[in-house]
Amino acid sequence: MVALGFLVSSLAEAHGPCRVSVDVVGCLRPASGRPGTRVTILGTAAYRVVWNENIPYDSESHYRRGAPTKALVSFSQAETKVEFVVPKAAPGVYPVAIYDGGEGGSHYTWDLFTVSGPSSFWRTPGPWLLLGLLGLFLLWLGRGRFGVRSSRSQKGPVVARARARATTAHENAVYLFWTLVKTSVSPMPVWPIASSRPSVHTAYTASVLAASPL
SS (H, E, C) 144-195: HHHHHHHHHHCCCHHHHHHHHHHHHHHHHHHHHHHHHHHHHCCCCCCCCCCC
Q: Is residue 28 part of a domain?
A: yes
Is position 108 within any domain?
Answer: yes
Kindly tell me if the per-residue pLDDT of 99 is higher than 70. yes
Structural domain total, the chain: 1
Rounded mean pLDDT of 98-112?
Answer: 92
Domain region containing 69: 2-115
Give ∠ CA 21-23-28 in degrees, rounded to 5. 55
Per residue in 158-204, pLDDT (tens digit) is 656 656 665 565 555 555 555 554 554 444 444 444 444 444 444 55
Answer yes or no: is 169 within a domain: no
| pLDDT at 158 (0 to 100) | 60
Report if residue 138 sits inside a domain. no
CATH number at residue 76: 2.60.40
* Res. 121 pLDDT band, cuts 50 70 90: low
The pLDDT value given to residue 191: 45
Instruction: Note whether residue 106 is domain-resident.
Output: yes
Residue 157 in domain: no
Q: Is residue 49 part of a domain?
A: yes
Which amino acid is it at 32?
Answer: S
Q: Is residue 33 part of a domain?
A: yes
What is the largest distance, in Å, between two alpha-carbon atoms of the chain? 113
Whole-model pTM: value is: 0.52
